[in-house]
Amino acid sequence: MIYVLNGPNLGRLGTRQPEIYGSTTYADLVDLCLVTGKRLGLEVEVRQTDAEFEMIKWLHRAADEGADVVLNPAAWSHYNIAIRDAAALLRGRLVEVHISNIHSREEFRHHSVISAVATGVVAGLGVDGYRLALEHLARFVG
């Protein structure tokens, strides 16, 4: 199982700042991840939450299962130590994904507290970053 976990406001894709995040809807993103997973022979589960406690619970579950995770922590990237600590518990690989290039945006977005515990980071490639993250993780499955 590979979990694709999305943080706050990502459920608003397609309507939230399309000049930054594009016109892809959240439903389109879920489909992209599921189709990519199927093509790669992966079991993929995609989730989104605006609730910190729920994200922590999902990361704990992934840690207990030894699962790999694709995580877009969204705004939590920049300050949320509780999410970072839960991500640090993962025994599987963690790929942090950002739709926008966080390094070319506002100063406060330039640093992610999650990156230090991630296997790798994909930023600025739009929703295609999710496909790339799944393709990377597929190399290690089986």
56 annotated binding-site participant: no
Is residue 103 annotated as involved in ligand binding?
no
Contact call for residues 127 and 99 (beta carbons, < 8 A): yes
Helix %, strand %, coil % for the chain, to 5? Answer: 50, 15, 35
What is the rounded radius of gyration, in angstroms, for the C-alpha atoms of the chain? 14
**Tokens describing residue 81:** 């130590």
Active-site annotation holder among 98, 110, 111, 130: 98
Residue 78 known to bind ligand: yes
Residue 109 labeled ligand binder:
yes
The one-character DSSP state at 33 is: H
- The answer to whether 98 is a known catalytic residue is yes
Q: Is 31 annotated as a binding residue?
A: no
Annotated catalytic residue within 3, 21, 26, 130:
21
Q: H/E/C letters for each residue in 40-56?
A: HCCCEEEEECCCHHHHH
Binding residues for substrate: 72, 78, 85, 99-100, 109
Binding residues: 72, 78, 85, 99-100, 109
Catalytic residues: 21, 98
